């Protein structure tokens, strides 16, 4: 009985951890979804945001175009637009 309880507890913990990690996406994945590129085509660029440790704003490139992207705090969605000269990308 104790072994079954421990197994159920371990399973619940694993499922909870998977759900938590699934809510956060990488910048590459968020960018790919926002700009219609594959994840393999997206490069997150070195930028002032990355240098400052900001994780909800970043610059990315795909197919020769540069983008400035922003995400919500829990990184479940993002919006990207073509980078402008003053964007720091």
pLDDT of residue 60: 97
What phi and psi, each to the nearest 5 degrees, are found at residue 55? -105, -5
| Over residues 13-22, mean pLDDT | 37
What phi and psi, each to the nearest 5 degrees, are found at residue 64? 80, 0
Give the integer Cα–Cα distance in Å for 80 and 50: 16
Tens-digit pLDDT profile for residues 23-65: 468 999 999 999 999 999 999 999 999 888 888 999 999 999 9
pTM: 0.69
**What count of other Cβ atoms lies within 10 Å of the Cβ of residue 80?**
25
Identify the CA nearest to 44 among candidates 9, 14, 71: 71
Name 79's Cβ contacts closer than 8 Å, sequence gap at least 6.
34, 69, 70, 71
pLDDT of residue 20: 36
Task: Identify whether the C-beta of residue 87 lies closer than 8 Å to the C-beta of residue 67.
Answer: no
């Amino acid at each position: 009985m104790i072994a079954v309880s421990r197994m159920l507890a371990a399973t619940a913990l694993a499922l909870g951890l998977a759900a938590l990690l699934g809510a956060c996406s990488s910048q590459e994945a968020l960018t790919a979804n926002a700009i219609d590129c594959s994840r393999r085509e997206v490069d997150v660029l070195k930028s002032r945001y990355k240098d400052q440790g900001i994780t909800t704003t970043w610059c990315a490139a795909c197919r020769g175009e540069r983008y400035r992207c922003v995400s919500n705090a829990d990184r479940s969605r993002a919006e990207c637009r073509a980078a402008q000269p003053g964007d720091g990308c």
